[in-house]
Chains A and B, each alone.
Chain A
Amino acid sequence: MHIQAIAIREMKMGFRNPWSYSFMALFSFFSLALLLINTQKFVQGFSSTTATMLNLILYLLPLMTLLLGSFSLTGEKEEGSWRLLSTYPISTASFINGKYVGLTFVLLFIISFGYGLTGVIGAMVGKPFDFITYGMFFVFSALLILLFLAIAILIGTLAKNRWQALTFCVGIWFFMIIGWPTVLVSFLGLLPYIWIKPVLIVLTMVNPAELVRLFIIVKLGGGSALGPEYYQWINWMNHPNGIFIFILVCVILVGISIFTATVLWERGRAHD
């Protein structure tokens, strides 16, 4: 009941937040750019065009999610809202879960609007996307939102104010999205050969962007492009149980972030 009330307030606040509309406009514009690419070269399955599109989504969505999510939590601290809610008969878990559910809804609405607009315009001009590929793009975006929102909740927990949250968000986004390949190559290069595969698996599991990107590439049939180190990944992801294992890993990643955030908020509640 409390989760529902908090989630509904979050949605109302989200849809009255100018940032949400800026992101919606940006994402719609960006989706239309994907449509333009599609009109020039029909996108189906995995290709260099699909990879470019996935990378573009990967640059924009995690940053957008991190900012909206973490600002929402730091706002609760800065405005004194959490302090007041701490005197209410509600649990800290209800508060955090309610925020997560509400923000997920707002962000999913933003991407649904962007993809919906693109789909409608694509159909109107007679250049629609391949349905499966289009669906995969949506799943890819939704997964990025779910995973990065959990990280955003953690950032919002650790940051004292919006400025600090902004710094953390940009730093984490840069590390996980832009700097990751370089960090990975340089780090793995230091390891003995037999360690490379297991360490690569662990590192890929802890970076949601990389995990989701690999999963979608494999599902689009582009696994062979990843190289021999990833053959094991391709096998388990294509296995009938692969999707369940993938979902389990995602749930664990989200669970760890949300649980840690809840513990930290709880510790801050009346412990000074």
Chain B
Amino acid sequence: MIKPVLEVRNVEKIIKGNTIVQSINIHLLKGQVVALCGGNGAGKSTIIRMIVGLSQPSKGEILVKGIEWRKSREGYAQSIGYMPDDYQFGNGLTALETLTFWAKLRGVPQKQVLETLEWVGLQEVRNKPVSAFSKGMRQRLLFAQALLARPPLLILDEPTNGLDPYWMDSYVNLVKSIKEKGHTVIFSTHQLDVAEAVADRVIFLRKGKIIQEGDTDDFRKKYGALGLHAAYSELMSHASKQR
């Protein structure tokens, strides 16, 4: 039996008596790309924060390559690469200096730093201060940071938030290229086009619960050209009728 890269088992998050995330189960195999989709307050970021170890589940457990955060924080951290959604670069360092710093913390050789910069298309601007970068370039640098140590699992929180269509396309291509190299990716998004373009599987969330999940191809077969948009609309209208 193939061991999953990520196992989220019956995870719940309760904050001040409010259940933010309810009985979530996610299993990701090597090379899979999964999108967590949903509107604001659906619980996407809470799940992402729990997977990266920034927040602990109130119930259930999360394992990456069979390692639980509570049992081996270092081993867990070495198995993941995280791209946050709210990082601000304000320290005057260049792209190369910034990435080199992160690389040293992970024990990544300098050669790999340059390769990663090349991979995300920032090689030519590596000596420019990050404060002078556009939003798209900063997102690429954060993506490079997550990818730097070539971890088995990449966790991306709203990676295309605020990006123009050009950068969204390049993000899609980047994820496709890392998928080809065998990386496993889970990312949150409210942009269904992006999810449809790169994800093998899509998980729809609403109010902290999984309301539907399945292969992207199956959604396409069922809903045709409208794909995930149609699926999401149907789910939302169904959910509001139930209320």
Interface residues of A, Cβ cutoff 8 Å to B: 1-2, 5-6, 8-9, 12-13, 16-17, 75, 78-81, 83-90, 270-272
Q: Say which residue of A12, A17, A81, A87 sits within 8 Å of B97 (CB atoms).
A: A12
**Chain B residue, CB-CB nearest to A76:** B91
Q: A87-B77, A88-B106, A271-B56 are in contact. List 8 more A-B contacts (CB 8 A).
A: A2-B105, A12-B92, A79-B87, A84-B87, A87-B52, A88-B102, A88-B105, A272-B54
The distance in angstroms between the C-alpha atoms of A25 and B89, with both chains bound, is 26
Q: Say which residue of B54, B56, B82, B93 sits within 8 Å of A12 (CB atoms).
A: B93
Looking at B52, B75, B88, B91, the one whose CB has the most chain A CB atoms below 10 A away is B91
Contact A1 B53 (CB under 8 A): no
**Chain A residue, CB-CB nearest to B102:** A88
The distance in angstroms between the C-alpha atoms of A6 and B93, with both chains bound, is 13
Q: Using known A-B contacts A5-B105, A89-B77, determine if residue A13 contacts B92 with beta carbons closer than 8 Å.
A: yes
Q: Which of chain B's residues have a CB closer than 8 A to the CB of A6?
A: 105
The distance in angstroms between the C-alpha atoms of A80 and B86, with both chains bound, is 6
Contact B54 A270 (CB under 8 A): yes
B68-105 residues at the A interface, CB under 8 angstroms:
69, 73-75, 77-78, 80, 82, 84, 86-93, 97, 101-102, 104-105
Contact A270 B55 (CB under 8 A): yes
Q: How far is the CB of A24 from chain B (nearest CB, A)?
A: 16
Q: Which of chain A's residues have a CB closer than 8 A to the CB of B53?
A: 86-87, 270
Contact A17 B87 (CB under 8 A): no
Q: Using known A-B contacts A87-B80, A89-B106, determine if residue A75 contacts B90 with beta carbons closer than 8 Å.
A: yes
Q: Which of chain B's residues have a CB closer than 8 A to the CB of A270?
A: 53-56, 69
Interface residues of B, Cβ cutoff 8 Å to A: 15, 52-56, 69, 73-75, 77-78, 80, 82, 84, 86-93, 97, 101-102, 104-106, 145
The distance in angstroms between the C-alpha atoms of A126 and B53, with both chains bound, is 63
Contact B88 A89 (CB under 8 A): no
Contact A86 B54 (CB under 8 A): yes
Q: Say which residue of B78, B82, B91 sits within 8 Å of A84 (CB atoms).
A: B82
Please name the 9 residue pairs, one residue from A and one from B, whose CB atoms are nearest each other, closest first: A16-B92, A5-B104, A89-B77, A79-B88, A80-B87, A89-B74, A13-B91, A87-B82, A87-B52
**Chain A residue, CB-CB nearest to B131:** A16
Q: Which of chain B's residues have a CB closer than 8 A to the CB of A8?
A: 101
The distance in angstroms between the C-alpha atoms of A80 and B84, with both chains bound, is 8
Q: How far is the CB of B178 from chain A (nearest CB, A)?
A: 18
The distance in angstroms between the C-alpha atoms of A5 and B98, with both chains bound, is 11
Query: What are some 23 contacts across the A-B interface (CB < 8 A)?
Result: A1-B104, A2-B104, A2-B105, A5-B101, A9-B101, A13-B91, A16-B91, A16-B93, A17-B92, A78-B88, A79-B90, A80-B84, A80-B87, A83-B87, A84-B145, A86-B53, A87-B52, A87-B54, A88-B102, A89-B73, A89-B75, A270-B55, A272-B55
Contact A79 B104 (CB under 8 A): no
Q: Which of chain A's residues have a CB closer than 8 A to the CB of B102?
A: 88
Q: Which of chain A's residues have a CB closer than 8 A to the CB of B84?
A: 80, 83-84
**Chain B residue, CB-CB nearest to A79:** B88
The distance in angstroms between the C-alpha atoms of A78 and B77, with both chains bound, is 22
Q: How far is the CB of A265 from chain B (nearest CB, A)?
A: 13
Q: How far is the CB of A69 from chain B (nearest CB, A)?
A: 15
The distance in angstroms between the C-alpha atoms of A2 and B101, with both chains bound, is 10
Q: Using known A-B contacts A83-B54, A270-B53, determine if residue A88 contacts B77 with beta carbons closer than 8 Å.
A: yes
The distance in angstroms between the C-alpha atoms of A16 and B98, with both chains bound, is 14
Q: Which of chain B's residues have a CB closer than 8 A to the CB of A13?
A: 91-93
Q: Which of chain A's residues have a CB closer than 8 A to the CB of B97?
A: 9, 12
The distance in angstroms between the C-alpha atoms of A268 and B55, with both chains bound, is 10
The distance in angstroms between the C-alpha atoms of A88 and B52, with both chains bound, is 10
The distance in angstroms between the C-alpha atoms of A5 and B93, with both chains bound, is 14
Q: How far is the CB of A100 from chain B (nearest CB, A)?
A: 17
Q: How far is the CB of B88 from chain A (nearest CB, A)?
A: 4
Q: How far is the CB of B194 from chain A (nearest CB, A)?
A: 22
Q: Which of chain A's residues have a CB closer than 8 A to the CB of B69?
A: 270
Contact A81 B87 (CB under 8 A): yes
Q: Which of chain A's residues have a CB closer than 8 A to the CB of B145?
A: 84
The distance in angstroms between the C-alpha atoms of A6 and B86, with both chains bound, is 21
The distance in angstroms between the C-alpha atoms of A271 and B56, with both chains bound, is 6
Looking at A2, A5, A9, A87, the one whose CB has the most chain B CB atoms below 10 A away is A87
**Chain A residue, CB-CB nearest to B98:** A9
The distance in angstroms between the C-alpha atoms of A84 and B142, with both chains bound, is 10
**Chain A residue, CB-CB nearest to B88:** A79
Q: Using known A-B contacts A9-B101, A79-B89, determine if residue A89 contacts B52 with beta carbons closer than 8 Å.
A: no
The distance in angstroms between the C-alpha atoms of A270 and B13, with both chains bound, is 13
Contact A85 B105 (CB under 8 A): yes
Q: Which of chain B's residues have a CB closer than 8 A to the CB of A78?
A: 88
Q: How far is the CB of A96 from chain B (nearest CB, A)?
A: 14
